[in-house]
Each structure stands twice: as C-alpha cells, then as structure tokens.
C-alpha cells in the first residue's frame, strides 16, 4: 500500500510523462461529499482562483471581460435578474415592471428598501443617470449599440423609471434591464463624462455599492477582496463575510490549489484536471453547459467552397463523435447547429448531418471533385482540393481539432493544411478573408440573435466569417429581430436552423462544459452559463475546525 505522499508523487511523475492528458491515473476512491449538516449560516471566507484580474470597477469604460462582469455583479445590482433557462426573469432592483400596450414604453417600479453602501437610497434618478452614461459618446461604452432602440429614460417618481423605445422587439427587457448594472448618481455624477475614460482610479476612490458585497481591497494582478455589505437589501444575506478572488493565471496551478486547499473554488478546470478532481473525496466538480461553441467557418468566397455540396461533404467527412470524445472525454458533446440542444429554441426534429465518408465522397464527385490522378487527393480541372485550416495557438483543444480534422478529411481525399497562428494574427487573417477554413469559438448572445453568423450585413462587420449570404436567411434574421417575443420567433428559428443544416457554411463541432471545481466545505455553489459565481450571496461554508 503506497503512502499518500508516495501516491501523489507517482501521480506527479505520471503527469510529467503524460503531460498532454492522463486518463485513469490516481487511485483515490470516489466519494462524493454530502450536504452540510449545519445548514446555511453566517461567517467565513471563500478563496476563488481566477484566471485573470478584473479590468476595473466601472464597466462602461473598460472592456467587459468575463471576470470583470462576474465581480461587478457582486458590487452592483441590475434592474432584473435574467435566469439560466433564458425564459424567466426575476426581480432585482425593480420589484415589478410592465409594458405599455404598444410595447414602446417599459416601466420599472423600484424597491424602496435598497440603498447604496453610504446609506443613500437607490432611486429612479440613478437609473436615468446610468442611461445617460450608457449613451454618452464621451464615455464610449462598448455595448451602447445594443440599446439604440431606447430613446430616453423618464423619471416618473423616485421609485419609478420609464424606458421609451423607438421600436418593439423580443429583447427589450433584457437590453434595458440586464445589459448593464445601475450606477450611483450621487457618487459618480460628480465626475463629468468627458473625464470618465481617464479616471478609472477615481471610481475606485468614490465607490459605493448596492450589491451583496463591497470592495475591501484590490491588489492588481494579485487579488480582489470582497467583504459583506451590511446594507444589502436581502435580510441575513450574504452568508459569507469575505470572498477573496485570487489571480492564478496558470491552470495547472489552479487545480493544484483546489486539491491542496489553497483555493476553495476554481472557475475553469481543464478536462485532465477535472478527472483528478472527480477522484478526490473533498472536492466537488460542478460542470455546466456553456453557451459557447466551436465551429469551422468555411470561406464561401474560395473556389470549391462556394458549392454547398462540397461543404456538406466536409461535414459528412468529420467524425465529430470521435473528435469530441478524444479531445474532451465526457465534458463536451457534438453540435450540429448554432443553437445548442439545451436551449428551448433548438429544433430537435432536424436530422443532423451524420459522419458518412461514403456520402461525402459521392457529394464531392457530384461537385466534380474526384481522384483523377490516383494520388489520394481529389482534384478538379487538374487542381487538388487543398484547404488551409486556421486556428489560434494557446488553445490545445482547437489545435487538436485541427489535427484530427486534417486526418479525417484526408481519408475522403481532401488535403487539409492546418495552420496554427498567434491569436491576433489569426483574427487579422480572418477579417481579411485569408483562409479556407477557420476553427473559431463563439458565445451565443443571450438574445439568441443569429444575424452575426448568417446575415449578409454581418459580412462587412466581420462576424459572418463564412461570408454566407442567403436572401431567405437575411429575411428570417430580420423578422426574428422584429418579433415582440422569442416564442413568436420560434418558426423562424426552425427555418433558419434548417437552412444552416442544408447549406453548411459552418461545420459546428462541439459545445463544451465549463468545469468548475469547489471544495466540499463550500455550499450553495450553482454555476451556470450566465455566471459562475451565481447566487454568491447565498453561499455558505462549513465551520472551521
């Protein structure tokens, strides 16, 4: 019987030898921690390992990184909380809301018991002030385009704010109430908008919050310490006294800290680390499906790829089941379209294109691509079908996918040249259309607006990477945007998914899980695709003993 240090050392040596991935190593018996017998109670501290630091505490003047959004959510409240099911909305600052009959006015009734951390009440003036900041050209908020349909915000009375829209559409409530948090007019209104972009430190010095936690300290590139906000409106919450968010850029270091107890929660484990976490008895794995997916965009402006039969052949030639299994194990699933199966808009009646090399060869032959010279690569008019497949370095899963696709498509006679580039170089080549295929990752917008990938207008802005232009897809994308509710847009989504299945401008590869790991002493962890630190105010920890 090996002693624990020796067993760990064996695991380390094995990890050193099989660095790219180690399945089945470690011999700790699997024993899932049970729920705490104590129940929720006040006190304690949780240490969270983050991959990167926050950009700042005013999200209007800094890029909205995932970490920044997660942390600011603990400091500031939005008007309402969007729920993970993407259909339900829960009250936050606003206890109720209603649309006018023509849906051009959206009125929010604010709670009267929410106050800023200096004791000043949160009022409709704060909402109007926030809207002024959102739309100020001097502030230059990067998400301002999303609220172009809001003309103005009217302060009806201290507890009532009314948004006036210039058109009705499905995402009105989300855009008005969840896109940004509400900011303190009495504290931040003192700085003219023209000086906001040079005043990041000023906002930190004049910080008041209305969320569950206050910012106790921020040491750049090291840690952010949040402490309980005693004036938080939810009685008895948060349970935790403090949350320490540590910047630990290296993923191996993160998982080691989780296993040795230096960190209580890690936001993103690698699949290899997740396997080790699943084997540990005092750590729990919380996987959840992200709304991000990985796909290959085929450049429709390139010879050969303009033909839908060739694109369908490419998809039939890629064995996504095997690809996903070998890269992710059980932590991802193959994807056949831009709407993942866990989203209610997914059309489950649609038969995805299966892995079928024979059909792929037949489609290629129909399009005029056959192996005339017997060299193993199909050709037409004397030119072989050779495609340059780009992806970015620093993402092992995408690099592995490029190699596997190269091997699989080689079997049906397509010569794939895999080219792994530095991220910015890849983006530049993608924008210039200098590629045949591009492996990319994208997060589905919470509004489910697919125009970024399918609309002709999005070719110029660079998000329709394939250069896909289809009049019916354009019309459907436009109609979806005009529907007052997503339920009414369902038939259009069904049709759009069918067009994408038939045309295959993109080969959708996989949807992966975000692998969150937490020590068993932490309770209430419930990460989802919106926020990993979801309901942080309700978390609690076992008493230290």
Site for another protein in 137-196 (CB under 8 A): 137, 140, 142-146, 171, 179
List CB contacts of 332: < 8 A, sequence separation 6 or more. 324, 510, 511, 512, 513
Nearer to another protein, 153 or 224 (CB): 224
Distances 439 to 11, 58, 94, 395, 426 between C-alpha atoms, Å = 33, 33, 42, 11, 10
Residue 72 in contact with another protein, rule: CB under 8 A = no
- Give the DSSP letter of residue 178: T
The two tokens of residue 26 are: 């470690």
Residue 306 in contact with another protein, rule: CB under 8 A = no
Q: Which of 29, 39, 63, 471 binds another protein (CB under 8 A)?
A: 63
Any bridge partners for residue 296, and if so which?
439, 507
Q: Which of 100, 219, 330, 485 binds another protein (CB under 8 A)?
A: 219
Q: Which of 473, 468, 405 is nearest to 439 (CA)?
A: 405
Nearer to another protein, 168 or 247 (CB): 247
Q: Which of 1, 5, 98, 544 binds another protein (CB under 8 A)?
A: 5
CA separation for the pair 453, 154 (Å, rounded): 35
Q: CB under 8 A: which stretch of 158-166, 246-254, 265-273, 328-336 binds another protein?
A: 246-254
Nearest approach, Cβ of 264 to another protein (angstroms)? 9
Q: Which of 22, 33, 41, 45 binds another protein (CB under 8 A)?
A: 45
What number of CA atoms fall less than 13 Å from residue 545's CA on the CB side?
4
Q: Which of 109, 162, 246, 514 binds another protein (CB under 8 A)?
A: 246
Stated as kind and residue range, the H or E segment containing 406 is: helix 396-410
Cα maximum dimension of the chain = 81
Nearest approach, Cβ of 6 to another protein (angstroms)? 9
Residue 359 in contact with another protein, rule: CB under 8 A = no
CA separation for the pair 542, 263 (Å, rounded): 15
The strands making up 150-157's β-sheet, listed across from edge to edge, are: 94-99, 105-110, 160-165, 150-157
Residue 475 in contact with another protein, rule: CB under 8 A = no
Residue 14 in contact with another protein, rule: CB under 8 A = no
Residue 259 in contact with another protein, rule: CB under 8 A = yes
Q: Which of 124, 248, 305, 496 binds another protein (CB under 8 A)?
A: 248
Residue 456 in contact with another protein, rule: CB under 8 A = no
User: What does residue 245 show for φ and ψ, rounded to 5 degrees?
Assistant: -105, 105
Across 302-358, the runs of DSSP E, i.e. the strands, are 332-334
Q: Which of 316, 328, 250 is nearest to 290 (CA)?
A: 328
- Give the DSSP letter of residue 351: P
Residue 198 in contact with another protein, rule: CB under 8 A = yes
Inter-residue contact 480 to 236 (CB < 8 Å): no
Q: Which of 67, 130, 210, 451 binds another protein (CB under 8 A)?
A: 451
Q: Which of 25, 155, 168, 225 binds another protein (CB under 8 A)?
A: 225
Q: CB under 8 A: which stretch of 136-144, 348-356, 396-404, 509-517 binds another protein?
A: 136-144
Q: Which of 120, 132, 253, 490 binds another protein (CB under 8 A)?
A: 253
Q: CB under 8 A: which stretch of 89-97, 120-128, 216-224, 343-351 binds another protein?
A: 216-224
Inter-residue contact 278 to 29 (CB < 8 Å): no
Q: Is 1 helix (H, G, I), strand (E, B) or coil?
A: coil
Q: CB under 8 A: which stretch of 254-262, 326-334, 412-420, 490-498 binds another protein?
A: 254-262
Q: From residue 404 to residue 443, what is the string marking binding to another protein with x (rule CB under 8 A)?
A: ------------------xxxx-xxx-x----------xx
Taken in order 442, 460, 421, 61, the sign of the CA dihedral is: negative
Residue 103 in contact with another protein, rule: CB under 8 A = no
Q: From residue 365 to residue 384, what is the string marking binding to another protein with x (rule CB under 8 A)?
A: --------------------
């Amino acid at each position: 019987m090996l002693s624990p240090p020796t067993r760990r050392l064996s695991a380390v040596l094995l990890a050193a030898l099989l660095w790219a991935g180690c399945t089945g190593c470690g011999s700790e018996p699997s024993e899932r921690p049970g729920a705490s017998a104590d129940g929720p109670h006040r006190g304690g501290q949780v240490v969270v390992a983050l991959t990167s630091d926050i950009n700042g505490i005013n999200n209007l003047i800094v890029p909205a990184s995932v970490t920044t959004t997660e942390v600011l959510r603990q400091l500031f409240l939005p008007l309402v909380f969007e729920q993970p099911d993407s259909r339900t909305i829960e009250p936050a600052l606003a206890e109720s809301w209603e649309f006018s009959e023509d849906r051009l006015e959206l009125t929010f009734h604010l709670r009267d018991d929410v106050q800023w951390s200096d004791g000043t009440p949160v009022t409709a003036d704060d909402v109007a002030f926030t809207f002024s900041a959102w739309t100020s050209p001097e502030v230059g908020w990067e998400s301002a385009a999303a609220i172009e349909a809001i003309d103005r915000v009217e302060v009806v009375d201290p507890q009532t704010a009314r948004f006036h829209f210039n058109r009705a559409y499905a995402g009105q409530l989300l855009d008005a109430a969840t896109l940004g948090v509400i900011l303190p007019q009495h504290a931040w209104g003192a700085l003219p908008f023209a000086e906001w972009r040079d005043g990041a430190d000023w906002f930190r010095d004049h910080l008041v919050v209305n969320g569950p936690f206050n910012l106790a300290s921020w040491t750049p590139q090291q840690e952010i310490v949040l402490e309980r906000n005693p004036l938080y409106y939810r009685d008895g919450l948060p349970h935790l006294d403090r949350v320490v968010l540590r910047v630990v850029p290296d993923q191996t270091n993160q998982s080691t800290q989780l296993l040795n107890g230096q960190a209580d929660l890690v936001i993103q484990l690698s699949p290899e680390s997740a396997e080790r976490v699943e084997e540990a008895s005092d750590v729990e794995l919380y996987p959840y499906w992200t709304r991000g997916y990985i796909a290959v965009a085929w450049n429709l402006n390139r010879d050969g790829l303009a033909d839908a039969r060739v694109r369908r052949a490419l998809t039939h030639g890629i064995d996504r089941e095997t690809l996903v299994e070998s890269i992710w194990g059980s932590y991802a699933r193959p994807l056949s379209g831009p709407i993942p199966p866990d989203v209610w808009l997914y059309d489950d009646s649609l038969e995805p294109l299966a892995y079928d090399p024979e059909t792929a060869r037949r489609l290629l032959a129909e399009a005029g691509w056959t192996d005339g010279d017997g060299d193993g690569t199909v050709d037409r008019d004397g030119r072989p079908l050779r495609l340059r497949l780009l992806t970015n370095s620093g993402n092992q899963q995408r690099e592995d996918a490029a190699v596997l696709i190269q091997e699989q498509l080689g079997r049906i006679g397509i010569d794939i040249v895999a080219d792994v580039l530095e991220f910015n170089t890849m983006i530049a080549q993608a924008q210039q259309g200098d590629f045949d295929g591009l492996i990319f990752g994208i997060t589905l917008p919470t509004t489910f607006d697919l125009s970024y990938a399918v609309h002709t207008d999005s070719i110029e802005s660079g998000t329709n990477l394939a250069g896909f232009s289809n009049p019916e897809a354009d019309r459907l994308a436009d109609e979806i945007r005009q529907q007052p509710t997503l339920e009414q847009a369902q038939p259009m989504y069904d049709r759009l998914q069918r067009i994408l299945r038939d045309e295959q401008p993109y080969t959708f590869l996989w949807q992966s899980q975000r692998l969150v790991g937490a020590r068993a002493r932490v309770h209430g962890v419930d990460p989802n695709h919106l926020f990993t630190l979801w309901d942080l105010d309700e978390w609690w920890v076992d008493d230290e003993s």
